[in-house]
Amino acid sequence: MSKAAGRTPILVDCDTGIDDSLALLYAVASPDCELVAVTCTAGNVDARQVAENTRAVLELAGRPDVEVAIGRETPLARVLVTTPETHGPQGIGYAELPPATMPLSQRFSPDLIVEEARRRPGALTLVTLAPLTNVALAVLREPGLPRLLRRLVVMGGSYRSPGNTAPTTEWNVSVDPEAAKIVFEAFGSRIAEGSASTEGSAAARSTRPTALGLDVTERARMLPEHLAALASRAGCAPDGSMSGGSGGSIGSAVNPIVRYVADALRFYMEFHSRYDGFYGAFIHDPLALATALDPTLVRTEPLTVDVELGGRLTTGETVTDWRRVWGRPPNVDVAVEADADRFMARFVERVGDLAAQRGGLAGTR
The answer to whether the beta carbons of residues 268 and 18 sit under 8 Å apart is yes
Closest by CA position to 104, among listed 63, 52, 58: 52
Higher-pLDDT residue of 166, 189: 166
pLDDT at 363: 40
Please choose, from the candidates 47, 39, 164, 42, the residue with its C-alpha nearest in 3D space to the C-alpha of residue 105.
39
Percentage of the chain exceeding pLDDT 70: 88
φ/ψ bin of 8: left (φ > 0), alpha (ψ from -120 to 50), beta (otherwise): beta
- pLDDT beyond 50 at 247: no
Is the separation of the CB atoms in 132 and 184 below 8 Å?
no
pLDDT attached to residue 207: 82
- pLDDT at residue 122 above 80? yes
- Rounded to whole angstroms, the Cα distance separating 224 from 243 reads 5
| Single-letter code of the amino acid located at 342 | R
**pLDDT recorded at residue 237:** 64
Check residue 191 and give its pLDDT.
58
Residues 147-157 have a mean pLDDT of: 97
Instruction: Report the catalytic residues.
Output: 284
**Using an 8 Å Cβ cutoff, are 112 and 39 in contact?**
yes
Which is more confidently placed, 194 or 147? 147
Could you give the CA distance from residue 263 to residue 260 in angstroms, rounded to a whole number? 5
Structural domains present in the chain: 8-219+284-334 (3.90.245.10)
Give the number of other CB atoms < 10 A from CB of residue 161.
15
pLDDT at site 105: 98
Q: For the chain, state the CA radius of gyration.
A: 19
pLDDT tens-digit readout, 185-244: 998 876 555 554 444 444 444 589 999 999 999 999 999 999 999 999 999 865 443 444
Kindly report, residue by residue over 50-80, the tens digit of the pLDDT.
Answer: 999 999 999 999 999 999 999 999 999 999 9
Q: pLDDT tens-digit profile of 284-338? A: 999 999 999 999 999 999 999 999 999 999 999 999 999 999 999 999 999 999 9
Cβ neighbours around 80 below 10 Å, total: 17
Q: What are the φ and ψ backbone dihedral angles of 70, each rounded to 5 degrees?
A: -110, 145
| pLDDT, averaged across the chain | 90
Query: Is there a contact between 117 and 145 (Cβ–Cβ < 8 Å)?
Result: yes
